[in-house]
Amino acid sequence: MDRRHRRPVPAAAAVLDALLGQVLGEAAGPAALPAALARTEPTTGTARSAAAVGTVAGRAAYALVEAGGAFGLTALDDAAPLGGSDADAGLAPTAVALGEAGGRSLFAVGSTDGSVQVWDAATGDVAHGTTGGEGAQAVAALVCRDIPVAFSAGQGGDLRAVRADDGRVLGNLPAGGRGATVLRAAHCAGVDLLAAASPDGTVRVWDAGTGELMHLLVGHRGEVLALAVLTVDNQAVLASAGQDRRIRLWDLATGQPVAELDGHTGTVTALAFTTLADRPVLASCALDGTVRTWDVYDGRPLHGWPAGEWLTALAAVGDALYTGDETGRITVWDAATGTPAPKAVPAGRPGSPLAALAVGTLHGRPVLASGFGDGALTVWDAATGGPLLDLPGEGGPVHSLDLTADLLLCGTAAGAVRSHRLTDGTALPLPVPHAGPVAGIAFTPGEQPLLASAGRDGAIAVRDAVTGADSRRFATGCGPFTALAATVAGGQPILATAGEDLVVRLWHAGSGAAGPVCTGLPQAAEVLSFAVLGGRPAVIAGAGDGTVLVWDVQDGSRTAELAGGGAAVRAVVGREFDGEGLLAAGDAAGTLRLWHLASASLLNEAVLDGTPLAIDLDEAGLRIVTPAGAVTL
């Protein structure tokens, strides 16, 4: 087989190829990629020591986490050690919480990479958690042993597998810490296959049912951006392509290369297999603006035609090829002739790049899904072009799509993973990480305790506190969060978030419904707390300039404003004693202040040896946790 095929294309396309070849050079790097293909780097944050006060096995205790190190659990009354992690745990904490749930004491840590980890505080056993987001998410969906499985991977770490219908974690597939730029799943000869392309140009293939690594495919000289799998009887062929402009075909039975297809003059962005005249055909599109088709059996180029600039997505249904481009346009082509096909398609979303296309079936009919740069998803009937679903943007620009059974799986450039039922668009829970540092984490008390986290990505994640199941993610559209607190008021789980917009918002933790909005912060709040003051639930915020504000939870009205010393508040707590409300706050300068709320008068002020990270206020007095441990006043 000649592995260096070049074939004639129409003159206009040849000129375009040549021009793009001069502009793009040998390969289009990330800076040259259109918006639909460029990845969003994960938001970074700075780890710092963090603490929380609660109970461990019935004893009043505090948790202290060291940046880059370990966590320890200590009794508040006598400083007895109650547990902890190894000294080299390597935690990068941004928020911590202690809580009681299901008869267990739980300890949670949110980190700079968006991960949330939960331990049994009494035994030290890991309860549940999510790994870090690592940026843009590649996804693949597969029914494996009658279970719908969602695979996802970011720009680093391992591949994650969860049940796509209920979010239960199934495990990880090791990728050497490299993550994946694209995933593709298929079933052949009784084996469930998963292929993953790493940023270094290698491609790994696993038996998804057993987790066994079957092949490591090496040959590309640049990042691989597209994969496709063809199954014929008991044989499977993998196609891979990307920045080096060459398409490689691999025999998945042996892991050996079988062909190299050369012809594109720009980065290859998408691949799709189809059948023409009873022969398997591979279609490809690239940033050179062309679509090309190839005979799979002998590697012959079949056709090539200009299809618009910055082609970003490709899908095949029978003899029809669907392309998407940087402008958001969807075009249908006759795969045999390269001419536009008279098929109805959605109008697309002008001005929003079309980032991904995927093909599946619903009630025995072929359907297509498209994902856009504004995060929107559309699903339509391939035969009629009639719309089936139109889902609004959530979790960032779409990066990848896949369909299996009646499920739509979506990975976003911001690091989120979404799962929806094709029948009605219902969002299904997936335990995905935040796409950036965790700004706050908290347990809600009650018979059905929840663990909530808020991220710098502007999302709130809520899950069962004991198992981590039934995870829900609310994309609030409110911008980066800076703090979170949780409580139960009127029998309902309530969350409070603070953000860079200088607003504290209240939410129903179960439904994500927005509640009262609390305004008046002079600077963003780094800490929030709930308390019962005057017989009514209140939310307290400590601002970056030292100001402390208090609002009524039921209507969001401000009930108190207390001036600090100019340093950011790092810990705050309110408590009522014999009908009198007291409030304590510690700031970054190491100063602790105690106020009487009704009169807004400062009762006491003390300078500590360290920064207050958490405060406990009860009849026994004030106990303040600093990086050096607990202090009682």
Q: How far apart are CA 502 and CA 457, in angstroms?
A: 16
Instruction: Quickly state the pLDDT bin for 396 (edges 50, 70, 90).
Output: confident
Which residues, at least 6 apart from 242, have a Cβ–Cβ distance to it below 8 Å?
Answer: 181, 197, 201, 220, 222, 223, 224, 225, 226, 267, 268
The residue ranking higher by pLDDT, 13 or 263, is: 263
Q: How does DSSP assign 521-588, residue by residue?
A: -SS-EEEEEEEEETTEEEEEEEETTS-EEEEETTT--EEEEE---SSPEEEEEEEEETTEEEEEEEET
Instruction: Quickly state the pLDDT bin for 331 (edges 50, 70, 90).
Output: very high
User: How far is CA 115 from its chain centroid?
Assistant: 10
- Domain ranges within the chain, ordered by starting residue: 11-40+133-428, 50-132+439-632
User: 412: closest CA among 433, 434, 396, 392?
Assistant: 396
Q: How does DSSP assign 173-185, residue by residue?
A: E--TTB--SEEEE
10 Å CB burial of residue 453 (0-12, 13-18, 19+) is: buried
Answer yes or no: same fold for 11-40+133-428 and 50-132+439-632: yes
Sign of CA dihedral 199, 202, 207, 212: negative
Secondary structure class of 301 (helix, strand, coil) = strand
Q: How does DSSP assign 345-373, residue by residue?
A: -----TTS-EEEEEEEEETTEEEEEEEET
Residue 234 has a pLDDT of 83
List C-alpha distances in Å: 333 to 230, 291, 316, 343: 21, 9, 10, 9
Residue-averaged pLDDT of the chain: 86
Secondary structure class of 120 (helix, strand, coil) = strand
Structure tokens at 626: 């600093």
Residue 45 has a pLDDT of 57
**Residue range 559-566: mean pLDDT, rounded:** 95
Secondary structure class of 596 (helix, strand, coil) = strand
Q: How far apart are CA 8 and CA 539, in angstroms?
A: 70
Secondary structure class of 213 (helix, strand, coil) = strand
Element at 23 (helix H, strand E):
helix 11-24
User: 148: closest CA among 338, 299, 325, 360?
Assistant: 360
Q: Degrees (nearest 5) of the Cα angle 579, 585, 587?
A: 175
Q: Partners of 322 in the beta sheet?
A: 315, 332
Residue 416 has a pLDDT of 77
Q: How many CA atoms lie within 13 A of 387 on its CB side?
A: 9
- What fold does the segment set 50-132+439-632 form as a domain? Methylamine Dehydrogenase; Chain H (2.130.10)
Residue 495 has a pLDDT of 96
What's the farthest any 2 CA atoms get from each other in the chain?
89
Q: How far apart are CA 484 and CA 458, in angstroms?
A: 12
- Helices (H) then strands (E): counts for the chain: 1, 54
Residue 215 has a pLDDT of 95
Q: How far apart are CA 241 and CA 224, in angstroms?
A: 5
Q: How far apart are CA 156 and CA 45, in angstroms?
A: 17
φ, ψ at 82 (rounded to 5°): -115, 0
Q: How far apart are CA 194 and CA 192, in angstroms?
A: 7
pLDDT digits (tens, 9 = 90+) for 416-450: 788 899 999 988 877 666 777 899 999 998 788 99
pLDDT digits (tens, 9 = 90+) for 459-510: 888 988 998 876 677 767 787 999 999 999 989 999 999 999 999 999 999 8
Question: Residue ranges of the alpha helices (H) in 234-355?
Answer: none
User: How far is CA 428 from its chain centroid?
Assistant: 14
List C-alpha distances in Å: 367 to 68, 282, 382, 385, 621: 48, 20, 5, 9, 65
pLDDT digits (tens, 9 = 90+) for 358-387: 999 999 999 999 999 988 999 999 999 899
DSSP state of 21: H
DSSP state of 243: T
Instruction: Say yes or no to pLDDT of 112 above 80.
Output: yes
Q: How far apart are CA 324 and CA 354, in angstroms?
A: 6
Q: Does domain 11-40+133-428 have CATH number 3.40.190.10?
A: no
Residue 22 has a pLDDT of 29
Structure tokens at 239: 């196609």
pLDDT digits (tens, 9 = 90+) for 18-29: 333 323 334 444
Instruction: Say yes or no to pLDDT of 322 above 90.
Output: yes
Edge-to-edge strand list for the sheet holding 387-391: 354-362, 365-372, 377-381, 387-391
Q: How far apart are CA 190 and CA 170, in angstroms?
A: 20
Task: For the beta carbon of residue 589, count every other beta carbon within 10 angstroms.
Answer: 16
